[in-house]
């Protein structure tokens, strides 16, 4: 490869300061060092967590930085000792690493990994605590260990999922964050059972993926809660069966839901990042067993509260990161599930069917009946180029936008 071992100069969107428009710069990207992978990013989507860090409210936000964490691309080169991927492999960068060796990875209790988190939280690479990005000699911080708003990025090898090369990268880039987070919150974190009642607070991409996951799990009622009633029509396609707009009620929203469900829902999911709504989501759960999962990311300084009596009387409060999915092991499997949907939409019966039917077992866990396929295209409402990234951030704040995918090398 001509670029292997060389510094690559390419375009990237740099966040120089919180809340100031991103600037497309010529960025120098250093070669990967031992245990690192340089990726040519082909498509990246925007997630609300990018906007959150850009806003300056993320205690881990460092500037200048290159944001972005929901993307797909091709390996350009690898550093010494990297064995699991090679140049040309199609990959999804994973902000939640999976080293398979640390105490988190080996616990069998969590998808969090401790191997590189101390570096990714401060915008550098683990080996030398330096950045691989610079603009005219000035270092630019990494973000979430991914920094995908760049034509090339460098990530740790434990943060790369190798995927089926036939998967369309302009679609499966979404499997880097929002969609798996919602599905996994239901399947891995809450473990919703068939017949359950579910409340979803916030009907953006993450909330809709929760609804999709709950439908696949066989939930009997999926109640969508949003302050924007325009969200309701689209949400039906993702499995939401009933809608509540808190603005239409004088009572607290938790009381509205308790009244609707004979004492409360079995499961609730907060997919907004609002601590008052997190409280409501807990308190709308049924006494004795209701479980509430926090998915939304709240700003620095925000804290959750409730009467301890809510927990004493059997409600459970949980949270989820990346939906509890183990990134390197399970992102390729999510891609396969999406590809099954693509195949099925072109062939009424495919021999691949049997293979896919057994994949959940071969991957060590069982999926709810009916969840063999997952939506991805349906979450993509806009497509732009990297150069239009500021417009893409503006779109995020409009009700009609779920995910906007940027073509990084137009």
Ligand X SMILES: NC(=O)c1ccc[n+]([C@@H]2O[C@H](COP(=O)([O-])OP(=O)(O)OC[C@H]3O[C@@H](n4cnc5c(N)ncnc54)[C@H](O)[C@@H]3O)[C@@H](O)[C@H]2O)c1
Please give the residue ranges that form the binding site for Zn ion (CB under 5 A): 47, 49, 99, 102, 105, 113, 115, 177
Closest CB to Zn ion among residues 99, 321: 99
CB of 96 to ligand AHE, least distance (A): 5
Among 321, 352, 384, 401, binds ligand AHE (CB under 6 A): 321
Q: Is the Cβ–Cβ distance between 375 and 15 less than 8 Å?
A: no
Among 22, 45, 297, 406, binds ligand AHE (CB under 6 A): 297
Among 10, 105, 284, 285, which one carries the catalytic annotation? Answer: 105
Sign of the CA dihedral running 79, 83, 86, 91 = negative
Site membership for ligand AHE, residue 59 (CB under 6 A): yes
Site membership for ligand AHE, residue 149 (CB under 6 A): no
Closest CB to ligand X among residues 29, 185: 185
Site membership for ligand X, residue 119 (CB under 6 A): no
Q: Is the Cβ–Cβ distance between 92 and 172 less than 8 Å?
A: yes
Q: Is the Cβ–Cβ distance between 44 and 68 less than 8 Å?
A: yes
Contacts of 47 (CB under 8 A, 6+ apart): 69, 70, 177, 178, 205
Among 10, 65, 94, 113, which one carries the catalytic annotation? Answer: 113
Q: Torsion-angle region of residue 260: left (phi > 0), alpha (psi -120 to 50) or beta?
A: alpha
Among 3, 117, 221, 401, which one carries the catalytic annotation? Answer: 117
The DSSP code sequence of 244-271 is E-GGG-SS-HHHHHHHHTTS-BSEEEE-
Q: Is the Cβ–Cβ distance between 379 and 403 less than 8 Å?
A: yes
Catalytic, 102? Answer yes
CA-based end-to-end distance of the chain: 22
Q: Is the Cβ–Cβ distance between 310 and 173 less than 8 Å?
A: no
CB of 379 to ligand X, least distance (A): 9
Catalytic, 99? Answer yes
- Residues with a catalytic annotation lie at 47-49, 69-70, 99, 102, 105, 113, 117, 177, 403
Residues that bind ligand X (CB under 6 A): 47-49, 52, 177-178, 181, 201-207, 225-228, 231, 246, 271-274, 277, 295-297, 320-322
Give residues in contact with ligand AHE (CB under 6 A). 47, 49, 58-60, 96, 112, 117, 177, 297, 321-322
């Amino acid at each position: 490869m001509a670029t292997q071992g060389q510094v690559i100069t390419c375009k990237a969107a740099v966040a120089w300061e919180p809340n100031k428009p991103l600037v497309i710069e010529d960025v120098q990207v250093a070669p990967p060092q031992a245990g690192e992978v340089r990726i040519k990013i082909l498509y990246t989507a925007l997630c609300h967590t990018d906007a959150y860090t850009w806003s300056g409210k993320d205690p881990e936000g460092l500037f200048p930085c290159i944001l972005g964490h929901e993307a797909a691309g091709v390996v350009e080169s690898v550093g010494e000792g990297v064995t699991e991927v090679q140049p040309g492999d199609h990959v999804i960068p994973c902000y939640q690493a999976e080293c398979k060796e640390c105490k988190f990875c080996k616990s069998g209790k969590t998808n969090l990994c401790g191997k590189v988190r101390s570096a990714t939280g401060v915008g550098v690479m683990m080996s030398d605590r330096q950045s691989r990005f610079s603009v005219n000699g000035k270092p630019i911080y990494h973000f979430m260990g991914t920094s995908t708003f760049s034509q090339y990025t460098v990530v740790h090898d434990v943060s790369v999922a190798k995927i089926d090369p036939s998967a369309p990268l302009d679609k499966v880039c979404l499997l880097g964050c929002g969609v798996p987070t919602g599905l996994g919150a239901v399947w891995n974190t809450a473990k919703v059972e068939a017949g359950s009642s579910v409340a979803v607070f916030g009907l953006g991409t993450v909330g809709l993926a929760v609804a999709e996951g709950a439908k696949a799990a066989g939930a009997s009622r999926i109640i969508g809660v949003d302050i924007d009633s325009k969200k309701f029509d689209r949400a039906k396609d993702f499995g939401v069966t009933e809608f509540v707009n808190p603005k239409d009620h004088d009572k607290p929203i938790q009381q509205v839901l308790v009244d609707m469900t004979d004492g409360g829902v079995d499961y609730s999911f907060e997919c907004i990042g609002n601590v008052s709504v997190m409280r409501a989501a807990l308190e709308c759960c049924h006494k004795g067993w209701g479980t509430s999962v926090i998915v939304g990311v709240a700003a620095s300084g925000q804290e959750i509260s409730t009467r301890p009596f809510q927990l004493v009387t059997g409600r459970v409060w949980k949270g989820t990161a990346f939906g509890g999915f183990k990134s390197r092991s399970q992102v390729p499997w999510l891609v396969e599930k999406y590809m099954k949907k693509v195949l099925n939409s072109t062939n009424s019966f495919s021999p691949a069917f049997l293979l896919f039917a057994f994949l959940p077992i071969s991957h060590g866990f069982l999926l709810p009946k009916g969840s063999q396929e997952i939506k991805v295209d349906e979450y993509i409402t806009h497509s732009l180029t990297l150069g239009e990234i500021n417009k893409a951030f503006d779109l995020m704040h409009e009700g009609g936008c779920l995910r906007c995918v940027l073509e990084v090398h137009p």
